[in-house]
Amino acid sequence: MADFPIVYHADYVTPLPEGHRFPMPKFQLLRDLLVRDRVIHEGQIYQPGAPPREWLELVHDASYVQAYCQGTLEAKAQRRIGLPWSEGLVRRTCTAVGGTILTAKLALQQGLACNTAGGTHHAFPRYGSGFCIFNDLAIALKVLQLQGLIRTALIVDLDVHQGDGTAFIFRDDPSVFTFSMHCGINFPGRKQQSDLDVPLEENTGDAAYLDVLRSHLPALLTRLQPDLVMYDAGVDVHRDDRLGKLALTDEGIYERDRTVLQTCKTAGIPVACVIGGGYGDDMNALIYRHSLLHRAAKAVLAQ
């Protein structure tokens, strides 16, 4: 059965100033590419809603949530996020968090589900950073725990940047294990301590990268036996990415995603996927790289 759930909402896209380096159009373009290439069909798409504010406050300070949602965040904190405030961006941010929550619930029901956004792992309880406002990964897991749907989880963060916000949020929480494999010399300048950090050298290519991943992931799943894996499939590991410093090819990213999903499937552990970071001037090439996650999901489930 290859018809896995895909989560998307039109609110994933909201206008940004001309020339802004965050590739906002990619979310709708990714959804359109997946349908056009028949990776998915319309019947697989689920539409999320925005979560109640209490769910955001399971992770974030109420004062920060209120200030951001009302547009009263101080200028310095807004600059740290890197995205100009607007009502549309608030709606987009909250809907994307709702999308990751829905993705996680669908993964529990069907074994695998993919969001077409998400992966805002630089958001801390009291502030946002690096294009990340609310930490969707952390919020989704806290909601599932609150609702008694899971007890334990493993975050597999393969974005090129360390998942510093998630590492900080779960630093004293043994129920969520954070695994971040990232470029060691890259944003954020000040790293947090994940449960397992694997910093990689600049220009690590496909073969070395996959060897490292395969040396860690199966053993983690065997040891932890989590109720859910949350997978951040950032494509900023690509050799052409503007903000990454690794050197993976399209083939390497596809094999990375296939490896993660197949390893989880073999272990019988549900996996919820978010697309993470990806930046580049060639939008068609960028959305294709993001689509590799969903192509790998279809291939794994077709076996």
Active-site residues, by number, are 122
pLDDT, position 226: 98
Sheet holding 112-115, edge to edge: 45-46, 6-7, 112-115, 271-274, 228-232, 153-157, 176-183, 196-200
pLDDT, position 182: 97
pLDDT, position 242: 87
- CB neighbour list of residue 180: distance below 8 Å, 6 or more residues apart: 155, 157, 162, 163, 166, 167, 194, 196, 197, 198
pLDDT, position 244: 83
**Which portions of the chain are predicted below pLDDT 50?**
none
pLDDT, position 39: 96
pLDDT, position 189: 82
Q: Domain boundaries in the chain?
A: 6-10+22-302
The domain covering 6-10+22-302 belongs, at the CATH homologous superfamily level, to Histone deacetylase domain (3.40.800.20)
Closest to 152 (Cα-Cα) out of 180, 178, 115:
178
